[in-house]
C-alpha cells in the first residue's frame, strides 16, 4: 500500500516507491494491478457484498423469490447464497470476517453475531468452495464455523478454505489452525465445536 493506492502482485518481480506523497510502481516481470487509494480505502459494511464478478443470487430464509445481488447489496441471516458459472463474490459478514465464494458455490448464512468478546459466524456450505478471511484482531475470540456434509471446520486462524465435492468436505488451511469436528460429535454435543479447545 502507498499514499496513491495499492499494488497487488500478479507476477514475480516488481518495485514500489513513495516520493513526495505519491506511489510509483515498476514491473520487472509479470503483472501488477494498481488500485487507486480512494477505492482501496473503501470497506464494505458488514452483511454486504464487497466484490462481485459474474452472478450472485440470494434466496431469503423460508424460501421466496431468488434475488440477483450486486456490490453493496445486503445479505440476510438465514438466506442461501449461490454463485453462477465463472463467478466470484466476496461477502463481508461481520466487521472482522468475510468469505470469498468461487463459481458454482452454495452456502447458507446460519448465524452472524457481532460482539467485542465473542463474535460468531456460522455457515453451512452445501456445494462448491469458499475461503474464510478473519482479521487478526479477532483471532482467538471469533467463533467462525463452516459446516459441510463431513463435519464442521472451526477457525483458530485467519485464512482457510473449505470445499464440498461429491458429498464430502475438504479443508485447506493457509494461515492459522482449523479444528475439524465430525458431525456425529456436533450432534451429540453442540458445544464441542469450540475453536478454542480440543484436537486439531
Show Cβ contacts of residue 63 under 8 Å, excluding neighbours closer than 6 positions. Answer: none
**Residue-level pLDDT, tens digit, the chain, 200 residues:** 777 777 777 666 777 777 777 777 777 777 777 766 654 334 567 899 999 999 999 999 888 899 999 999 999 999 999 999 999 999 999 988 899 999 999 999 999 999 888 899 999 999 999 988 888 777 778 889 999 988 898 886 677 888 888 888 888 887 777 888 887 775 554 454 444 443 33
Is pTM, for the whole model, over 0.75? no
Amino acid at each position: 500500500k502507498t499514499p496513491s493506492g495499492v499494488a497487488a502482485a500478479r507476477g514475480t518481480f516488481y518495485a514500489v516507491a513513495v516520493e513526495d506523497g505519491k506511489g510509483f510502481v515498476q514491473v520487472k516481470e509479470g503483472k501488477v494491478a494498481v488500485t487507486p487509494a480512494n477505492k482501496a480505502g473503501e470497506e464494505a459494511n458488514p452483511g454486504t457484498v464487497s466484490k462481485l464478478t459474474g452472478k450472485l443470487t440470494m434466496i431469503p430464509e423460508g424460501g421466496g423469490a431468488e434475488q440477483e445481488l450486486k456490490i453493496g447489496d445486503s445479505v440476510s441471516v438465514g438466506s442461501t447464497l449461490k454463485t453462477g458459472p465463472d463467478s466470484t463474490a466476496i461477502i463481508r459478514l461481520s466487521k472482522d470476517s468475510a468469505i470469498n465464494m468461487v463459481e458454482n458455490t452454495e452456502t447458507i448464512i446460519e448465524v452472524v453475531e457481532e460482539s467485542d468478546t465473542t463474535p460468531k459466524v456460522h455457515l453451512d456450505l452445501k456445494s462448491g468452495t469458499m475461503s474464510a478471511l478473519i482479521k487478526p484482531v479477532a483471532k482467538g475470540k471469533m467463533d467462525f464455523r463452516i459446516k459441510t456434509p463431513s463435519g464442521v471446520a472451526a477457525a483458530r486462524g485467519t485464512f482457510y478454505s473449505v470445499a464440498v465435492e461429491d458429498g464430502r468436505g475438504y479443508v485447506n488451511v493457509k494461515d492459522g489452525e482449523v479444528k475439524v469436528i465430525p458431525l456425529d460429535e456436533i450432534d451429540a454435543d453442540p458445544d464441542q465445536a469450540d475453536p478454542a479447545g480440543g484436537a486439531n
